[in-house]
Amino acid sequence: MSSVLPALALVTIGQAPRHDLAAAVIDGLPAGIEISQRGVLDGLSADEVTARYGSRPGGELLVTKLADGTVVTLDAAAVDRGLQDAVTAAEVSGAGTIVVLCTGGFPDLHTENAWLVEPDAVVTATSAGLLGGRPVGILVPMPDQIDAASRKWHALEEPSFAAASPYGSDAAVIAAARRLVDDGADALILDCMGYAPHHRDAIRAAGITAPVLVSGSVLGAALGAAL
Question: Is residue 162 assigned to a domain?
Answer: yes
pLDDT of 53 reads 96
Tell me, yes or no, whether 102 and 132 share the same domain.
Answer: no
Tell me, yes or no, whether 190 and 136 share the same domain.
Answer: yes
Tell me, yes or no, whether 110 and 142 share the same domain.
Answer: no
pLDDT of 227 reads 84
Under 8 Å between Cβ of 187 and 210: yes
Tell me, yes or no, whether 138 and 203 share the same domain.
Answer: yes
Q: Give, for all 227 residues of the chain, the pLDDT tens digit.
A: 344 556 999 999 999 999 999 999 999 988 888 999 999 999 999 999 999 999 988 889 999 999 999 999 999 999 999 999 999 999 999 999 999 999 999 999 999 999 999 999 999 999 999 998 899 999 999 999 999 999 999 989 889 999 999 999 999 999 999 999 999 999 999 999 999 999 999 999 999 999 999 999 999 999 999 88
pLDDT of 54 reads 94
Tell me, yes or no, whether 113 and 17 share the same domain.
Answer: yes
Under 8 Å between Cβ of 113 and 92: no
Split into its structural domains, the chain has a count of 2
pLDDT of 32 reads 85
pLDDT of 3 reads 46
Tell me, yes or no, whether 110 and 72 share the same domain.
Answer: yes
CATH number at residue 204: 3.40.50.2300
pLDDT of 5 reads 57
Question: Is residue 171 assigned to a domain?
Answer: yes
Tell me, yes or no, whether 102 and 186 share the same domain.
Answer: no
H or E element, residue 128: helix 119-131
Instruction: Look up the domain containing 178 and give its range.
Output: 122-214
Q: Is 121 exposed, middle or buried (0-12, 13-18, 19+ CB in 10 A)?
A: middle
Under 8 Å between Cβ of 61 and 73: yes
pLDDT of 58 reads 87
Question: Is residue 3 assigned to a domain?
Answer: no
Tell me, yes or no, whether 32 and 94 share the same domain.
Answer: yes
Tell me, yes or no, whether 22 and 96 share the same domain.
Answer: yes
- Cα Rg, the chain, nearest whole Å: 17
pLDDT of 2 reads 43
C-alpha 75: how far from its chain's center? 16
